[in-house]
A and B are shown apart, each in its own frame.
Chain A
Amino acid sequence: MTVLLVSIAALGVAIVIALVRVVLGPTAFDRVLAVNSIGTIIILGIALHGFIMERPEFIDIAILYAILNFIGTFAVLKLFSTGKLS
């Protein structure tokens, strides 16, 4: 249990480190990449949070987050490459 608490705290630190890249990334692609990584770390964090709270049904929310992360990244990349979303 203690390992899971330390692990979720370390994932929070990793999110803050990746957020530095979001703030000062020179190009927009750095920001997209860092936001994508933050989404992946948040999926892991939700799964760990479900086990810490002893209520693993939170995994469903993590599946939803994975799908939203993928779709969001591709929407932003399509906007960059073609200039429109339709």
Chain B
Amino acid sequence: MLEQILMIIALGLVGIGTLLVIIGAFGLIRMPDVYSRIHAAGVIDTGGTALILLGLCLYSGWNLVTVKLVVIGVFLAFTSPISGHAIALVAHDRKIDAEGVDETRSYSSKKAGK
């Protein structure tokens, strides 16, 4: 009985994580500029990976595979925000405009004006 409840919880977590991955992928093509797309990719990197790996941990039971899944989860939880931050930093450094930014403050209109 407990095994079945645990299996239902595990598969539910995997399903919700997959739904979050699909939502993040849609945000990746629907969002208007680089910075907001980083926000959409963050849904994949945090919600999707955390829920799917947690669900697989419960699915596998308690053995060495669980430890490896936790290692993947911790590694992704540390590296994904660093990647997003670095992409935003370099994009701002190379003067990529955000969508809907003020005319006087945008990089492209300054370049065109002067």
Chain A residues with CB under 8 Å of chain B are 3-4, 6-7, 10-11, 13-15, 17-18, 20-21, 27, 29-30, 32-34, 36-37, 40-41, 43-44, 47-48, 51, 56, 59-60, 62-63, 66-67, 69-70, 73-74, 77, 80-81
Q: Tell me which of B11, B49, B68 contacts A63 (CB under 8 A).
A: B68
| 27 pairs of residues in contact across A and B, judged by CB atoms under 8 Å | A3-B14, A6-B18, A7-B15, A7-B18, A11-B21, A14-B22, A14-B44, A17-B25, A17-B29, A20-B29, A29-B90, A32-B87, A33-B38, A36-B83, A37-B44, A43-B76, A44-B48, A47-B52, A47-B53, A48-B14, A51-B59, A59-B68, A59-B69, A70-B82, A73-B83, A73-B87, A77-B90
**Interface majority SS (helix, strand, loop, mixed), chain A:** helix
Contacts of B6 in A (CB 8 A): none
Separation of A40 and B17 alpha carbons in the complex (Å): 13
Contact count A vs B, C-beta below 8 Å = 132
Instruction: Return B65 CB to nearest CB of chain A, in Å.
Output: 4
